[in-house]
Amino acid sequence: MNKRILVIGGGIGGVQAGLDLAQMGIKVTLVEAKPSIGGRMAQLDKTFPTNDCSTCILSPKLYELASHPNVDIFSYSTLDKVDKKENGFQARIRKKARFVNEEKCTACGLCSEKCPVKIPDLFNKEITTTKCISIPYAQAVPAVYKIDKKHCLYFSKGKCGICQKVCTAGAIDYEQKDTIETIDFDAIIVAAGAEEYTPRIRPEYGFGIYDNVVTSIEYERILSASGPTGGHIIRPSDKTAPGSIAFIQCVGSRDISSGNYAYCSSYCCMQATKDAIITREHDQNACSTIFYIDIRAFGKDFDKFVDRAQSEYNVKYIKSRISEIIEKPKTKNLAIKYITPDGRINTKEFELVVLSVGIRIPDQIKELMTELGVKLSEYGFCPCDAFEPGITNVDGIYVCGTLMGPMDIPETVMSASAAASMAARGLLSPEISSEIIKEKPAEIAIEEKYLKIGVVVCHCGVNIGSVVDVPEVVKFAGSFRNVVFADELIYACSRDSIKYIIDKIKEHDLTRFIMASCSPRTHETLFKSALEEAGLNKYLMQMTNIRDQCSWVHQDNHEEATEKAKDLVCMAVGRSRYLQPLHELDSEVNKACLVIGGGIAGMMSALFIADNGFRAFLVEKDTELGGNLLKINYTLEEKNISWLLGKIRERVQEHPLIDVCLNTEIREIKGYVGNFTTNLTSGKEERNIEHGAVIVATGGREHETESYGYRDESYVVTQREFETMLLNKNPMLKYAHTVAMIQCVDSRESDKNYCSRVCCGEMVKNILQLKNDYPDKDVYVLYRDIRTYGMLEPYYTQARKTGALFFRYDIENKPVIQKEENGEFIITVYDEILRRYIKLRAQLIVLSVGIDPLETNDQLARMLKVPLNEDGFFHEAHVKLRPVDFATAGIFVSGLAHGPKYINESVSQAIAAASRALTIITKDKIRSEAHTAVINEVRCTGCGFCVDVCAYNAIEIDKEKNIAAVNTLMCKGCGSCAATCLSGAVDLSGFTNKQLIQEFQELFL
Amino acid sequence: MFTVIKPMRGPKFKNEVARYPGGENIKRCFACGTCTLSCPVSEAESNYSPRRVIHKILLGLKDEVLSSDEIWYCMTCYRCQVRCPQDVKYPEIMRVLRQMALEQGYVKSEFVDAMKEIEKVTQDIRRKILKRFIEKRESITEKDIREIISLSDKIQP
Amino acid sequence: MIIKKIKTTAKDLLTDGSVSLIIGYGINGPGDVTPVFIKDPDDVEKLVWNDQCYYNLIRYLSDRDFIEQNNGSIGIIIKGCDQKSLKVLLSESQVNRDKIKVIGVTCKGLMDSDGNVLAKCEACDVVYPDKDFCDVIIGEEVKKKEKEKDFSDIDEIDSMDLPDRKKFWDNFFERCLRCYACRNICPLCYCKECIMDQHNPQWVLPSASVVGNRLFHIVRAYHLTGRCVDCGECERVCPIGMPLRKINRKIIKVVKERFDFESGKDQEQKSPLTRYRENDSEDFII
């Protein structure tokens, strides 16, 4: 057992899988073909529906992965060979030559600046050029430059060599060769992703022919502040700002004729909406129009996002697929013909057109999968069974992310965590802790009378040194009282420099250390560990940023930049006088997990915790396990749900590590991450259990509708009931020659403005079953948007092929049902194509009523102190990158409790939640933040303002003393409480009021 | 004004159409409107909508469709078929409908022959207009075109 | 007669042991109404009720030392404006509701020594304290008038241009003695160690200089944001006659506009500054 797993692909999927595995104590080798990790998410400008900056939310994960001791990243690398071995795999990894020494390169950028050769910039989708020696983007991880050998003058003609001449770190190595490493692995996770395909498959849209037709990913680069246009929205032909922009949806997707693209790429509707909103935020005069077939806004808060786009950002949605785009030669505007809501044909001119292209699996990835022996579907993706997400036909090889099928970021993150949990099976054990124990020298106790401050000012090559007069800053620093050592370094982060720093700390007996250099984001951890090596508490260091916030932004003003650098150093020195040693607290972790809810999500979470060797308590308030899945008979892919459910229940009930508590409710949950105590009641019995993590999997329920006569009419049923009728060959079906189905009942309107996600797929499923059993029956479906996203789209096509007819209705003009004397129903609906009302006769009406949150969510939410969203579902920490976490540490969510979703999505999320819980309970001890809030009990009045502002529930009022008390394990050191307290009774260690005020005073006094 | 859609038990119109070669994919249609937007006939005649014709077939309005003039307007330029994302093959379906109209007595065979003549003559006129335009290389207005049409029999090919 | 009922209520509460102390209004000489503390049922004769019962007696409930010394139940006489302060204190867990008996009294308005109704009473909307909040209500029921608060004097100052406004306020800040009477009388200024008294770090200059005084008053007003109920005591006790109510009412006006919130109405709701809602106005963020 190597306890090492290979992750292929460094996009968000690979990164998440890698992080989860590393945090479980497993070694990870991540191989990425591009020069840096980050994948397509790094190319996005913002992410929907929060409009967060994509790189801002992604880069912390990239840094975390890169700096984790359990992780080795091979970037700009490929797999030469993968062999199956007895207990795993052996892979030959080829690290391609960058011709730049990774250890020496400091990413100062001088080589790129001086390089005379321009090459197409692939990261910016070739909209612009970059240099032959370059880095994909500023925040790239690893931050190492690379030479494009093909275009390099040195390699092709033996000339130039400028980069090597100017590199002050001596990092350019033309002799560098590819290196091969052969490593053994227990398992492989393929997170290779998918990529946007070229819309040249539909030449009528003019891509590649007309200047002002761009793809969605190109538009993301244009919108991006770090992109080729600096975030200014300008169109290619004349570099003007477009006043009218058209987004064309489904370019190549849902398209059988142009190739194997019958599926829906699932995220493009939301991406176009987001881009249209961002465009309007950039430019109040820009008007966007989105041409669509169905708006697939099926996720959490997506419908609200689309509504806002229309009401607040003036985005127009026109239901009309576009046949062709014609360029007006003089203006280079693009004329688009479309069908108006009242059936006329209109032409409108747009200054810019964005084609929402979908994704497909590139050929080289298909080849890789073939080599690995993994079977792909006809569309090139690697779909998995609903109850075994991530599992392929090859033992030990798992997949996650868009390689499985078109999906958005949260689904990718969930499938990645799930794959991690799967791959880890057999490698974890409660006896082995997943913490990294590093050998450190003993910390020297510092006595307060010895205030000996050391200052190092870094040149960062030319980054700082060419703008700021470093020697002058050093001299200035040395003039302060208590500064016994001041020096300069060219690259403080290099190995030699770190050794130098450690030596000097010891030599001068320093008790405080100032590093005037780059952003803490880059090397704070490195300098902190240097202090530790020298025996000094690592929190006795102050980093001050004289690069990003000084030399980089004042490049034209050397004198003032130097003065500013001096001020910054002066502030840092002042503050350091008040720095105190800080220590993280360790707390024992209880290595068990509580799973609340015994539905499929709860059961899968419990199984994966237990399969990995840890104890799980599965608490269910009903008399049996299964939840909503007990009422489902089959899905589009699985024909025998009850049999599968039976097997899972059996496994759960027989598993020695799962404690199944039926008929049990939770009375109280006390404690915090690593140390929860829960009081369970079952009838008259009571019991306390202890555990280190909690997974909320309480599920949801079918909405109870009053609409369309459901309450009174026995021939008006829900899709759930219809499914059972079909299974049991209910005699009512004999009478129903025509079945009418109504979608979006009570959903997507005023007080229930969310999409229940599963209804369109369920409707399609029932149609296929109905038509299979009774081919002669007629089916009419009245819908608002058909949301058969991803791989469900081909099933929708099948449903149409069976002869079911689909009619779109507007929310303002809902269908009206009247009952005739003979019991038949007449449905009046406005047919948008015929432009007249039609009456359909049906004998059975099937309603898609959607999923409601449980009413008990509120009570549980208050018990756990976690939030619910506007619609009553549990509200995760971050809708994109932390879809199973809560802001409160140690508590996770999965399944319908989080929001409506399909069974396979619930299972994926459940296993992901288990994975996340394992990252906690695999540890013996959990370490707190060193920067935590501290309460001055003398001053505290118990008013509770701090409790209100804490996002992490880390602060509480002690009822007896009527004083605030901080849970240091849950405190994240954000400082909100310290800022809020009126009496100054809360302080944040490491950022105390005294330290901060001293820092300011140094500047002004 | 309401149209009542009758349930058809037994052989249904859309199935009938689907059984003819070329008509197999008719049920695939999801009414995206691409055909209508590609169609050169609908540019001239705004009320001509291939999407609506397909929709009527799917609704089972056999009489309305086979007796309509709509099925004869199609120029079989195949633009819609190239662009249709679901491969519905509208011109092929038109061919099927014309065949059905003939077979089931909605039109006489002389009518079908006349269609061929109309095709030939309209192509001839089109060629003459183009030739005139290409020769003169001036801009051309609708009035000019209509004038040419009225004099077309006097123009040499 | 109101005063009769007050005395009877007080006497009953003391005799049956419901409270061990009554805080009310008494006379300390002609025209001088002061707080009075009654432990003996016979002493209820000292209680008075007139249009000069200025004091916000709630102040005593947030005085920790006082509560410690009088740790039995306390019966307290409140006017409508006092009630608002009490509700804020309850929302901030500073008063144990079980250990007080709230005696609400209908107040038709206080008068100054010249016989003019006080400005704060002209704008009063709680003439009759809340029936479901007080333990006893004395006086006739008066229907609540939903008045639009009059902020015309605030608007007047807002319409001054900045140099004039600075002159207006500096005129007072120059004369402020830093006697802290305003802070000491305020029921909501209950911090054990006031931020103004702290030295390490020193947030505000303690000297009675213009610079220090500006900061003192502004910081105090900010600390009362979403909390001050405009009981007016601060202005009443100021020895130099600073129009302190204007500062606090300016903030009351802004809080109402931005958060649609008025303090002192709901004892479960704290200042909106600690609350986050998704539709909170963000027009100050670009």
Judged by CB atoms within 8 Å, which residues 13-42 of B form the interface with A?
14-15, 27-38, 42
**Looking at the predicted structure, is the pLDDT value of residue C286 above 60?**
no
| A249, A260, A322, A345: best to mutate for the B interface, most B CBs within 10 A | A345
- Nearest chain B residue to A342 by CA distance is B47
Predicted pLDDT of residue A466: 87
Q: How many CB pairs under 8 A join A and C?
A: 50
Residue C192 to residue A983, Cβ atoms within 8 A: yes
Cβ contacts (< 8 Å) between A782 and chain B: which residues?
none
Select from B7, B35, B46 the Cβ nearest to the Cβ of A344: B46
- Cα torsion angle, A566, A571, A574, A576, sign: negative
Cβ contacts (< 8 Å) between A997 and chain C: which residues?
201
Predicted pLDDT of residue C278: 66
Q: pLDDT confidence of A468, banded at 50, 70, 90? A: very high
The residue that leads in pLDDT, A758 or A998, is A758
Q: What is the dihedral of CA A894, A900, A903, A906, to 10 degrees?
A: -10
pLDDT digits (tens, 9 = 90+) for C82-95: 999 999 999 999 99
Contact (CB, 8 A) for A454 and A439:
no
Predicted pLDDT of residue B9: 47
The residue that leads in pLDDT, A447 or C38, is C38
- Nearest chain B residue to A804 by CA distance is B27
Distance from CA of A322 to the nearest CA of B (A): 6
CA B67 to chain centre: 14
pLDDT digits (tens, 9 = 90+) for A177-203: 999 999 999 999 999 999 998 878 889
- Closest by CA position to A879, among listed A404, A269, A418, A408: A408
**Looking at the predicted structure, is the pLDDT value of residue A449 above 80?**
no
Looking at the DSSP assignment, which residues form a beta bridge with residue A839?
A828, B4
Predicted pLDDT of residue B10: 43
Q: What distance in Å separates the CA atoms of residue A399 and residue A384, rounded to the nearest whole number? A: 9
Predicted pLDDT of residue B8: 52
Largest CA distance in chain A: 101
Q: What distance in Å separates the CA atoms of residue A889 and residue A936, rounded to the nearest whole number? A: 25
Two structure tokens written together for A450: 């010895």
Give the residue-averaged pLDDT of A333-340. 95
Neighbours of chain C (3+ CB pairs under 8 A): A
Predicted pLDDT of residue A639: 84
Q: What is the mean pLDDT of chain A?
A: 93
Predicted pLDDT of residue B152: 63
Predicted pLDDT of residue B115: 86
**Looking at the predicted structure, is the pLDDT value of residue A521 above 80?**
no
* Residue A394 amino acid letter: V
Which of A221-230, A654-663, A761-770, A794-803 is the least confident region? A221-230
Cβ contacts (< 8 Å) between B38 and chain A: which residues?
323-324
Q: pLDDT confidence of A938, banded at 50, 70, 90? A: very high
- Nearest chain B residue to A202 by CA distance is B83
DSSP letter string over chain C?
-HHHHHHHHHHHHHHTTS-SEEEEEEESSTT-EEEEEE-SGGGGGGB--STT----GGGGGG-HHHHHHT-S-EEEEE-HHHHHHHHHHHHTT-S-GGGEEEEEE-----B-TTSPBPHHHHT-S-SS--TTT-SEEES---PPP-PPP--HHHHHHHTS-HHHHHHHHHHHHHH-----HHHHH-TT---SS-GGG--TT--S--SSSHHHHHHHHHHHHHHTTTT-----HHHHH-TT---HHHHHHHHHHHHHHHH---TTS-TT---GGG---TT---TT--
- Nearest chain B residue to A324 by CA distance is B38
Judged by CB atoms within 8 Å, which residues 69-108 of C form the interface with A?
92-94
Contact (CB, 8 A) for C28 and C52:
no
Predicted pLDDT of residue A2: 66
Distance from CA of B105 to the nearest CA of A (A): 26
**Which ranges of chain B have pLDDT less than 50?**
9-10
Judged by CB atoms within 8 Å, which residues 939-998 of A form the interface with C?
939-945, 948-949, 957, 962, 980, 982-985, 993-994, 997-998
Helical ranges in A50-152 per DSSP H:
54-67, 110-114
Cβ contacts (< 8 Å) between B49 and chain A: which residues?
343, 833
Residue A983 to residue C191, Cβ atoms within 8 A: yes
| B9, B37, B43, B51: best to mutate for the A interface, most A CBs within 10 A | B37
Give the residue-averaged pLDDT of A920-927. 90
Select from C191, C270, C273 the Cβ nearest to the Cβ of A941: C191
A193 torsion bin: left (phi>0), alpha (psi -120 to 50), beta (else): left
Cβ contacts (< 8 Å) between A839 and chain B: which residues?
2-5
The residue that leads in pLDDT, A56 or A829, is A829
Predicted pLDDT of residue B154: 66
Residue B55 to residue A322, Cβ atoms within 8 A: no
Return the DSSP state at A551.
I
Neighbouring CB atoms inside 10 A of A363's CB total 9
pLDDT digits (tens, 9 = 90+) for A2-26: 689 999 999 999 999 999 999 999 9
- Strand A213-215: give its sheet, edge to edge: A213-215, A352-357, A244-251, A287-292, A316-319
Q: What distance in Å separates the CA atoms of residue A96 and residue A495, rounded to the nearest whole number? A: 24
Select from C93, C195, C278 the Cβ nearest to the Cβ of A984: C195
Predicted pLDDT of residue B1: 56
Cβ contacts (< 8 Å) between A943 and chain C: which residues?
92-94
Q: What distance in Å separates the CA atoms of residue A916 and residue A914, rounded to the nearest whole number? A: 5
Q: What distance in Å separates the CA atoms of residue A488 and residue A512, rounded to the nearest whole number? A: 17
Two structure tokens written together for A662: 């039926």
Cβ contacts (< 8 Å) between B46 and chain A: which residues?
344-345
Domains of chain A: 1-96+178-194+361-429 (3.50.50.60), 97-177 (3.30.70), 196-360 (3.50.50.60), 453-477+486-536+545-576 (3.40.50), 588-697+856-925 (3.50.50.60), 702-852 (3.50.50.60), 928-1004 (3.30.70.20)
Percentage of chain A lying above the pLDDT 90 cut = 80
Q: What distance in Å separates the CA atoms of residue C122 and residue C153, rounded to the nearest whole number? A: 14
ipTM of the complex: 0.93
pLDDT digits (tens, 9 = 90+) for A849-870: 999 999 999 999 999 989 999 9
Does pTM surpass 0.80? Answer: yes
pLDDT digits (tens, 9 = 90+) for C103-154: 999 998 999 888 899 988 988 888 889 989 999 999 988 877 777 788 999 9
Predicted pLDDT of residue A444: 78
Distance from CA of A984 to the nearest CA of C (A): 7
Give the residue-averaged pLDDT of C235-254. 95
Q: Which helix (H) or strand (E) is A419 found in, with range?
A: helix A409-423
- Nearest chain B residue to A340 by CA distance is B33
> Going by C-beta distance under 8 Å and a sequence separation of 6 or more, which residues neighbour residue A694?
A593, A594, A595, A596, A669, A676, A864, A890, A891, A892, A917
| Interchain CB contact of A463 with C (< 8 Å) | no
pLDDT digits (tens, 9 = 90+) for A626-674: 999 999 989 998 888 999 999 999 999 999 999 999 999 999 999 899 9
Q: How many CB pairs under 8 A join A and B?
A: 114
